[in-house]
Amino acid sequence: MKFVVSVLLMILLSFLACLYLPWWSIAVVSFVIPLVIIQKPFMAFLAGFVALFLLWGGLTLLISTANNHLLAHKISMLVIKADAPLLLITVTAFIGGVVAAFSALSGSLFRRLF
């Protein structure tokens, strides 16, 4: 339950934060949530990853589908040297996930210091 709530909160707050703040505000959100909803470090790590993987993956999938993947075709060739929009979306989701995962882990470990 805690896990699901953490994930949902991270998704919601990251989305809201990114409306106004730079992209790395996802790290701040993922750091703060485990301070409030206490979880084991590994679970926090997982929650961070799942939350941002879902948020970034979901958002880009929606955006790119509406775009017929026009831009994703071009950017994927540029960035990952392969004409693979879905792979670019996965990479995007993974980047969001990894940053959030380590940040959530840090938050959780920080909480355990006290």
Partner 1 sequence: MRVVFFFLSLLITLALVVCLGSSILLPLPLGSFLSPQHGIWQNAEPVKQSFDTRLNFPGLKSKSTVYLDDRLVPHIVADHDEDAYFLQGYLHARFRLWQMEFQTYAAAGRVSEIVGEKAVNYDRGKRRLGMVYAAENMLKEMEADPISKVQIDNYTAGVNAYITSLPESRLPVEYKLLGYRPEKWNNLKTALFVKQMAQTLSGFSDDLPLTKLRSFFDDAALRVLFPQVADSLDPVIPPGTVFAPPSVIPVAPPHADSVYINDLPGTLQEAEKPDPANGSNNWAVSGSRTRSGAPILCNDPHLELSFPSIWYEMQMTTPTMNAYGVSFPGAPGVIIGFNDSIAFGFTNSGRDVMDYYRIQFKDKTKTQYWFDSAWKKSELRIEAIKVKDKPVVYDTVAYTVFGPVMYDESFPSSAEPGAALALRWKAHDPSNELLLWYHLDRADNYEDYIHALQYFSSPAQNIVFASKSGDIAIWQQGIFPALWNRQGVYIMPGEDSSYMWQGFIPADENPHTLNPERGFVSSANQRPADSSYPYFIPGYYDLYRGIAINRRLKEMYDVTPDDMMKLQNDNYNMFAETVIPVLLRNINESALQENEKKYLDLVKGWSFYNNIDQRGATIFSIWYENLKKQVWDDEFEKAGVPGLRPSDQTLAEALLRDTAFTYIDNINTPGHETISDVITEAYKQTVAVADSLSAINKLTWGGYKNTSVYHLLGNTVMPFARTGLPVGGGAHIINAMKQSHGPSWRMVIELTQETNAYVIYPGGQSGNPGSPYYDAYIDKWAAGEYYKAWFLKRGEQEGDRLVWKMEFGGRE
Site residues for partner 1 per CB under 8 A: 15, 18-19, 22-24, 27, 31, 41, 55-56, 59-60, 63-64, 66-68, 70-75, 77-79, 88, 91-92, 95-96, 98-99, 102-103, 105-106, 109-110, 112-113
Rounded Cα–Cα distance for residues 29 and 14 (Å): 6
CB of 36 to partner 1, least distance (A): 17
Q: Could you tell me which of 39, 18, 59, 17 has the C-alpha nearest to residue 101? A: 39
CB of 5 or CB of 41, closer to partner 1: 41
Closest approach, Cβ 50 to partner 1, in A, equals 16
68: region left, alpha or beta (phi > 0 left; psi from -120 to 50 alpha): left
**Residue 1 or 35: which CB sits closer to partner 1?**
35
Q: Would you call 36 exposed, middle or buried from its count of C-beta atoms within 10 A (0-12, 13-18, 19+)?
A: exposed
